[in-house]
Amino acid sequence: MILKIILTRMAFYILLTSFTLIFLIPVGIMVTGSLKPDDLVLLEAGRLATFFPAEFRLTNYHEVLARVPFGRFMFNSIFITTTIVSCGLFVNSLAGYAFSRLQWCGRNWLLAGVIALIIIPLEAIAVPLFYEVTIFGWRNTYLVQIIPFIANAFSIYLFYTFFLGLPKELEEAARIDGAKPLSIFIRIVVPNAKPVFAAVAILTFLMQWGSFLWPLMVTHSEDVRPLPLGIAAFYTLPPLQWGDIFAFGVMMVLPVLLIFIVFQRWFIQGVATMGLKG
């Protein structure tokens, strides 16, 4: 019996390790490729030297900065994404709190509509949304990349499910003392909801950081172009140098990695908590 349990656990860990390697190998190839001379990137592909090159250098990173306005692309992505995340946390958390705590006419119908919106992909509404922002004159601006994505049905639902699980005693005590709903939300609810705020912030950041289709449709200038469009244009820029492309990819992924490392404790706690409530 004990041997069976040990073998089962070993098989489970081997399977998990295999899946981990499948996801990590492309990242390792990208990182090591960004540090190798361009002529060795494809020459050493498929060999052990792919991960242990004989020569490391940072020339590829310097070439990226020299060939394209990478700093501008990075600023655009950071500004657009952080604005969506910060404004979205405020708007979506208030909406989630209203659905979970306040009683008002049409609440259940509107909540059902929000849940239904979760399954509608951007591609399904991209064209009518494109015409709408064209009427407003927002094309090729920051606004067109920010405003449509602040309110998010999935984020509202995550906040809603989390707030349902919070005990109501503190809120009721504050209400007895004369506190208004907004004051209760800011002073009582928010300090106890850090995990869901971190989880929503990371998920929104990841989703918006890699956004490609919508910026491609509504922007045509490097002044407002985010990193995903920047690397797509860089790929078509002659001469084709894989070391430079890998270096671009590493610099693009690094902020996402840093964000996750900083907030990983709250993110894991928030996902685990919401999973238990589900």
Please write the tens of the pLDDT for every residue from 9-52: 888 889 988 888 888 888 888 888 888 887 777 665 556 556 66
130 shares a domain with 84: yes
pLDDT reported for residue 188: 86
166 shares a domain with 120: yes
For 53, the domain range is 1-67
Q: How many CB atoms lie within 10 A of CB 122?
A: 13
Q: Higher confidence at residue 68 or residue 45?
A: 68
Say if 245 falls within a structural domain: no
pLDDT reported for residue 46: 56
Say if 248 falls within a structural domain: no
The rounded percent of the chain whose pLDDT value lies above 90 is 35
223 shares a domain with 192: yes
55 shares a domain with 86: no
Task: Please name the residues in contact with 18: beta carbons below 8 A apart, sequence gap of 6 or more.
Answer: none
Tell me which of 57-66, 108-117, 269-278 is least confident.
269-278
The predicted model scores a pTM of 0.85
Tell me which of 73-77, 84-88, 251-255 is least confident.
251-255
* The pLDDT of residue 4 is above 60: yes
Domain count, the chain: 2
